[in-house]
Amino acid sequence: MLAAPVRGERTKENMAKLTFVGGIHPYDGKELSKEKPIGDIVPGKELVYPLSQHIGAPAKALAAKGDRVLAGQKIAESGGFVSAPVYASVSGTVKAVEPRRVASGDMVMSIVVENDEQYEKAEPLPRKPLEKMGTEDIIAVVREAGIVGMGGAGFPTHVKLSPKEPDKIDYVIANCAECEPYLTSDYRRMLEEPEKLVGGLKIILKLFPGAQGILAVEDNKPDCIKVLEDLVREEEKIQVKGLKTKYPQGGERQLIYAVTGRKINSTMLPAQVGCVVNNVDTMVAVYRAVTEGRPLMERIVTVTGDAVASPQNFRVPTGTSYVQVLEAAGGFRCEPAKVICGGPMMGTAMFDLNVPVTKTSTALLALTKDDVSALEPGPCINCGRCVEACPGRIIPSRLADYAERFDEQAFLDAYGMECCECGCCSFVCPARRPLTQEIKSMRKIQLAKKKKG
């Protein structure tokens, strides 16, 4: 095999199939959960709403201990521009406002609601009819609805939708890649409610008069491509594009490159190359907020893995405990070796299931085998597999060396901050070195330093 083009724009080869350079092909495990329709869930007695379910300032609690709240009632307001309000997903009484553990393991100030099982609904969000809405109105509703990027990052969506120069946006991309192994929530959503996804895309396109809408789907989901193509046949401004199936095809930088041939680095926003990217669930949330006045208070969660009795996707009210989510899928089939919030490549391992589903919880994955502890790391043999796999086109093995001996300058000079923590390098490393992990900790330190100034 000769080298794929390292740099440069569209070549004939990758024009044929939209993709990026690097990446990996892990076992995708999607067949476990992809066939079953999205199920519903019983939220349980106690729901926990962390005030920080997004990137940016934490929300400020509006509800206090003893208050009665309704499903769809705002219980915490936005703490700044880059922030998002939080809504109750059930009716009940506020039991406490206290720090609670979240999936990452951190303690986060949260509002705890005791479910009264009445599911009494609050008034929908005030809004104008869609035809009469202007740009500002739409963004205001999205902001008020507490919508954040639901693919995992949790960046407040209204910020993404308000770039400095909206006229210079050429593409609004719906990220339907779902490249993370095992996850099928976007897949089910596209099959079951494609009109809501396309509706959300059309609403966002209203904000950017010069933009093309693109539904970018990995080609391992031909059924989704077909459904969406049928749906947008009449739409002049919307196209469906098939992407090569490869992890991390749905990474923002890789997706933008695959679809448009434009490149951004870690310091740039998609809007700087004329792109706005939103994930499937986020676009559906936008649609429901704008047309139904429904705030963000539920999401689709994939419960899967070979340790789960009956893997399936569920429509889960935010705040529901993972214990409840697991129960809906029949509990564990056998003792799991590892339980992960999210996918196997970028998810967070959980030591305890008693944490709430938040706006950014994509999945509960339980595996019977833990690859990480199964084999001991050895010395780097310089094989270069990490270099081939790295979508950031950096040299993970060297960056991990710099991180290990805390050589900050060398780390920065070698573009260490360009790592997107996708995990490809650790996945391929034959010496089983924890490359991603080492680079990740160094990045964390550097980001904290930068923040401090």
Does 428 interact with another protein (rule: CB under 8 A)? yes
Binds another protein (CB under 8 A): choice among 351, 450, 451, 453: 351
Nearest CB to another protein, comparing residues 186 and 438: 438
Q: How many residues bind another protein (CB under 8 A)?
A: 81
Does 340 interact with another protein (rule: CB under 8 A)? yes
Residues 429-448 that bind another protein (CB under 8 A): 429-432, 434, 436-437, 440
Residues 172-191 that bind another protein (CB under 8 A): 181
Q: How does DSSP classify residue 5?
A: P
Does 384 interact with another protein (rule: CB under 8 A)? yes
Do residues 21 and 122 touch, judged by C-beta distance below 8 A? Answer: no
Nearest approach, Cβ of residue 181 and another protein (Å): 7
Q: Per CB under 8 A, which region of 154-162, 202-210, 224-232, 385-393 contacts another protein?
A: 385-393
What is the Cα–Cα distance from 181 to 344, expressed in whole angstroms? 7
Binds another protein (CB under 8 A): choice among 80, 121, 128, 354: 354
What is the Cα–Cα distance from 375 to 373, expressed in whole angstroms? 6
What SS3 state is found at 345?
coil
Nearest approach, Cβ of residue 428 and another protein (Å): 5
Does 210 interact with another protein (rule: CB under 8 A)? no
Which residue, 166, 159, 216, is CA-closest to 186?
216
Binds another protein (CB under 8 A): choice among 380, 407, 410, 446: 380
Residues 245-264 that bind another protein (CB under 8 A): 253, 257, 260-264
Binds another protein (CB under 8 A): choice among 82, 269, 372, 410: 372
Task: Give the CA-trace dihedral at 194, 360, 217, 286, to 10 degrees.
Answer: 40
Nearest approach, Cβ of residue 425 and another protein (Å): 9
Q: How does DSSP classify residue 58?
A: P
The amino acid that residue 419 corresponds to is C
Burial letters 338-358, b for 16+ CB under 10 A, else e: bbbbbbbbbbebbeebebbbb
Nearest CB to another protein, comparing residues 10 and 121: 10
Nearest CB to another protein, comparing residues 66 and 409: 409
Burial of 37 (0-12, 13-18, 19+ CB in 10 A): exposed
Helices (H) and strands (E) in the chain, counts: 15, 17
Kindly write out the interface string for residues 130-159 of this chain, putting x where it contacts another protein by CB under 8 A and - elsewhere.
------------------------------
Do residues 242 and 209 touch, judged by C-beta distance below 8 A? Answer: no
Q: Per CB under 8 A, which region of 32-40, 122-130, 204-212, 427-435 contacts another protein?
A: 427-435
Nearest CB to another protein, comparing residues 64 and 334: 334
- As a residue count, the chain comes to 453
How many CB atoms lie under 10 A from the CB of residue 137? 14
Positions of E strands within 220-274: 238-243
Burial of 130 (0-12, 13-18, 19+ CB in 10 A): middle
Does 331 interact with another protein (rule: CB under 8 A)? no
Residues 14-33 that bind another protein (CB under 8 A): 24, 26-27
Does 324 interact with another protein (rule: CB under 8 A)? no
